[in-house]
Homo-oligomer: A and B are copies of this chain.
Amino acid sequence: MEEAPQPVGEGGLLGEELREIWPFLDLEERLEGFRVLAPGEAEDVFFGLSTREQCELLLALPPRERQLWMRQLAPDDAADAVQQADEEQREGMLRLLDEPTRREVSALLAYAEDEAGGLMSPRYVRLRVEMSVDEAISYLRRAARERVETIYYIYVLDGEQRLLGVVSFRELFAAPPDKTVRDVMRTEVVSVPEDMDQEEVANVIAQNDLMAVPVLDAEGRIKGIVTVDDIVDVVREEATEDIQKIGGTQALDAPYLEVGVLEMVRKRAVWLTVLFVGQLLTATAIAYYESEIARAVVLALFIPLVISSGGNSGSQASTLVIRAMAMEEVRLRDWWLVLRRELAAGLLLGLLLGLIGLLRVVLWPGRRTLFGEHFFLLGVTVAVSLVWIVLWGAVAGAMLPFVLRRLGFDPASASAPFVSTLVDVTGLVIYFSVATLLLTGTLL
């Protein structure tokens, strides 16, 4: 946790300039630019880098400088940087740290990067219940000069490191000096378990408006704290991942311009191929109705219109539900509430589009030449299909995230393209079934 707005460094421009152009430099140019910076500026640039960039830069620096910079990282940041390196380089990076920090960092490395334990800093300030407020403040004055994460949230522990309470520095500071820590601490504390997913930790912090949250193990012992500034990054990262998945890509895990083209193609190709294979079913479906199309070619005209309306309606529903789930506004057991809403919304939207579709067909200039004398019946076919397909799109799009989550997958995988593909195939069946029903004996 940074303590205050960060100065941009003496004569800051050069450092700021380097940060501006950083994404467009290759590693060698970055190294070159970084090493000519004044010390203050170099620090600002270094701490402003993403974990991944820090790691790349560290590994490119000469050993002595690498050690210097490595030792400036807080244990949680050092652990993140080490985690970015290849397996065989990690040991070497850890050896650069001093002994106590190395132990802290190794302990953090045992946690997955995206759970509470992987986010936390082990350098929180702890007090005992029997201390007086005055003693506590003197103790914090010494702690303020050391490399603790923050002195503003102070955790009160018993002999077994179990969390008894919490007190903010401000509360301590405003309290009468002869009271004890026990008198001023709060005993009901929101905490998170060490293996909680980082997205959930973010929800806990956001919903309770916290500045920091303690991380406890199964025995109630405090292992570290997660501060809100780290949560800002988590929230941004998680939203980016969700957005990329909704767009039908695997999460890039790095800024767009920094991912190699081939790597990006690989991450997009997987889903694109899956969707393509799914779309092949549309050809199969149409092949099944080939004789109907041969008799009434006009039916082909409305294929993209009809099925894409279902896809669009499905994209809307699935993205709304995916986001609501991520924000914990909707839980698994709310599926029935969502289904009811989407049945209503889908029906209304279907009726709206159906009406527009009907009007468009029956008012089409040259309708008799193009569609023949049964143009009105054709319009009704399009309209009725639209009602069903839009309704089906909304329901399928809204339920798919529930199904995925129930099966243990990420609901965000119910991407807009995935839902569209699903609805396209069924949409064709609906369209041709309605056509067969309404047009046999006239157009068919």
Q: Which chain A residues in 1-34 approach chain B with CB under 8 Å? A: 1-10, 12, 23-24
Q: How far is the CA of A150 from the CA of B150 in the complex (A)?
A: 14
Task: Tell me the minimal C-beta distance from A434 to chain B in angstroms.
Answer: 16
Query: 5 A-B contacts, Cβ less than 8 Å apart?
Result: A1-B211, A252-B320, A261-B345, A268-B313, A304-B307
Which of B144, B145, B168, B313 contacts A272, CB < 8 Å?
B313
Oligomer copy total: 2
Which stretch from A58-66, A87-95, A324-332 is at the chain B interface?
A: A324-332
Residues of A within 8 A of B (CB): 1-10, 12, 23-24, 47-48, 140-141, 144-145, 150-153, 166-171, 173-174, 186-191, 202, 205-214, 228-229, 231-233, 235-236, 239-240, 242-244, 246-249, 252, 255-258, 261-262, 264-265, 268-269, 271-273, 275-277, 279-280, 282-283, 286-287, 290, 293-294, 297-298, 300-305, 307-309, 311-313, 315-316, 318-324, 327, 329-330, 334, 337-338, 341, 344-345, 348-349, 352-353, 356-357, 360, 370, 390, 415-417, 420-421, 424, 428
Which of B9, B239, B283, B319 contacts A235, CB < 8 Å?
B239
Given A264-B341, A276-B312, 14 more A-B residue pairs with CB atoms under 8 Å apart are A3-B171, A5-B153, A206-B233, A232-B235, A235-B236, A247-B315, A247-B319, A249-B320, A256-B321, A257-B324, A282-B305, A294-B297, A297-B297, A416-B417
Contact B349 A268, beta carbon cutoff 8 Å: yes
Task: Tell me the minimal C-beta distance from A119 to chain B in angstroms.
Answer: 14
Contact B323 A209, beta carbon cutoff 8 Å: no
Inside 8 A of A276's CB, which chain B residues have their CB? 305, 309, 312, 353, 356-357
Which of B312, B356, B420 contacts A308, CB < 8 Å?
B420
Q: How far is the CA of A348 from the CA of B266 in the complex (A)?
A: 10
Contact B209 A6, beta carbon cutoff 8 Å: yes
Contact B329 A302, beta carbon cutoff 8 Å: no
Contact B421 A308, beta carbon cutoff 8 Å: yes
Q: How far is the CA of A319 from the CA of B264 in the complex (A)?
A: 13
Contact B144 A170, beta carbon cutoff 8 Å: yes
Contact A256 B301, beta carbon cutoff 8 Å: no
Which of B210, B303, B313, B415 contacts A5, CB < 8 Å?
B210
